[in-house]
Amino acid sequence: MTAKAVNQAKAPDRNTPDRGARDEAARDPGAPDRAPDPATALGSATALGSETALDRATALDRADAWAAPVGFGFWRALYADCCDAILAYDRVVATMPAGELRERLIELRPELPELLDQAWTVAELAAALFPAGPQRDPRLLKLLSEDPVLDLRQTIQDRPPDPGLRTALFGIREQLWRVAEDAGRLAWHVRENPHATDLTAWLRGLADGVAAARAAGWTPVGYDEDERPEAWS
Amino acid sequence: MAHDEGMAEHVDWQVLIDRETARQVAARVAPAGVPVSMREAADAPGTWIGTGHWRRHVERLTETVERAAVAIAQVPPGGVRDQLDGVMEILGLRLQRYTHIAEVGQALWPDDDTTDLDGTVPGMAPRLSGVAQEIDDRLSGALAHLTAVAVSIEHIGMADTGQRDPDTVSQLVARVLEQVPAP
């Protein structure tokens, strides 16, 4: 099974209140350990946080997943999912036709980075206290596996640390995705046509009409080409 | 100066490696593939209807409308053909509408066959939920609707040209359209 298939098998429950699937995936201890070469990862935490000097407000507005200093793995992926909600919102709004509804959604957009700001703070705190989630961080896995006495990877707990911070971040992500979902629903329904022609009734009537015409001895096979009205040509 | 340039190059390379590492870890942690905000531009979501699941929806819908167009083209000029030409115009508008809806699906839950980072192999349908799932159901319903309409048009055309018994066709069309969801 490929990594993608593994990911696919874990139901992405991004949009429903029950996001258990993502939680399960995050704490799944049985996931194959295909961590990248830790040698390249060791000592690189500063590089991931190297953009934190950028204006935080700008990074939040752009939903830049790399700007927050949240290390590898669990916390970054979770924070990035929060950023994804804002990017999805932007893409959804871009699909909408010009009009009052679209303008209103554009007006609401500046409020989203404030929510993302909370996610940044929580994720940063969590990453500082529990760097990347020990069971996911290739740097820690490498260090633990190199212990001369015992492979200490076996001793780490099988669930992400600190449920409080994790739950808080899940909650913010939930809120952000709810906004994106609502925008998506609006963009969808604005394309629907409540006055759509009842095509099925039309075709049903047409089929009945052909049968009735046949029964009456009149054949609607067609006009004689020579008698075809000018308007048809 | 050259030394500074070398340093800058080194730092960029290091960041690149770290991001790739973070992406690989995220691919394991995040069930729906690598988050869009962590991808490089080459793996960013495709625009409009994308290159994956939502495009396939539109392609199937387009094929069905084309099937109806072929059936109508075989009906000789006359009252029935007039009516079917009107139906065809509506089908064209309806296809436009469904394409816009597919575009919203791609915006909300992008799926592309041009990247491996979205959690699906090319040709594989993503496991959707929420509004994306509702849109998916909507488009599946639309395909059922258009298919029933295309089948009905084919039979009406055959009845019109005397290839099939009109009474039988009338019953068949009623039966086919009975199963059809709202457009």
Per-residue pLDDT tens digits for A56-86: 999 999 999 999 988 877 889 999 999 999 9
CB count within 10 Å of CB B149 equals 28
A153: pLDDT confidence band, cut at 50, 70 and 90?
confident
Least confident segment among A110-119, A126-135, A142-151, B41-50:
A126-135
Give pLDDT, residue B12: 57
Task: Tell which of B12, B16, B24, B28 to mutate to test the A interface (max A CBs under 10 Å).
Answer: B28
Does residue B7 lie in a domain region?
A: no
B31: helix, coil or strand?
A: coil
Does residue B39 lie in a domain region?
A: no
Give pLDDT, residue B113: 95
Tens digit of pLDDT for each residue in B87-116?
Answer: 999 999 999 999 999 999 999 999 999 998
Distance of CA A171 to the CA centre of its chain: 15
Give pLDDT, residue A193: 84
The total number of structural domains in chain B stands at 1
Handedness of CA B30, B36, B38, B41 (dihedral sign): positive
Containing structural domain, residue B110: 47-178
Write out chain A residues lying below 8 Å of B131, CB-based: 15, 181, 184-185, 188
Chain A (137-196) residues lying within 8 Å, Cβ to Cβ, of chain B: 137-138, 177, 180-181, 184-185, 187-188, 191-193, 196
Q: What are the contacts of A154-158 at 24+ separation with CB within 8 A?
A: A158/A27, A158/A29
A160 or B127: which leads in pLDDT: B127
B7: pLDDT confidence band, cut at 50, 70 and 90?
very low
Write out chain A residues lying below 8 Å of B116, CB-based: 4
Which ranges constitute the DSSP H helices of chain A? 3-9, 20-27, 38-41, 45-48, 56-61, 73-95, 100-108, 112-129, 138-145, 163-189, 199-215
Does residue B20 lie in a domain region?
A: no
CA of A133, closest CA in chain B: separation in Å? 11
CB–CB contacts below 8 A, A to B: 259
**Do A136 and B28 meet the contact criterion of CB atoms below 8 Å apart?**
yes
Binary contact (A193, B97; C-beta < 8 A): yes
Give the residue from A166, A155, A153 showing the smallest Cα distance to A27: A166
Q: Is the pLDDT of residue A26 over 80?
A: no
Provide the 8-state DSSP code for B126: P
A138: pLDDT confidence band, cut at 50, 70 and 90?
low
Query: Least CB-CB distance to A136: which of B25, B84, B169?
Result: B25
Binary contact (A203, B173; C-beta < 8 A): yes
Distance in angstroms (rounded) separating the CA atoms of residues A215 and B153: 20
Distance in angstroms (rounded) separating the CA atoms of residues B60 and B113: 16
Give pLDDT, residue B54: 98
Tens digit of pLDDT for each residue in B155-181?
Answer: 999 999 889 999 999 988 988 888 777
Q: Which residues of A142-161 are buried (b: 16+ CB within 10 A; e: fewer)?
A: bebeeeeeeeebeebeeebb
CA of B1, closest CA in chain A: separation in Å? 22
Indicate the average pLDDT of chain A.
73
Query: Least CB-CB distance to B80: which of A88, A206, A208?
Result: A206
Write down the domain spans for chain A. Answer: 3-189
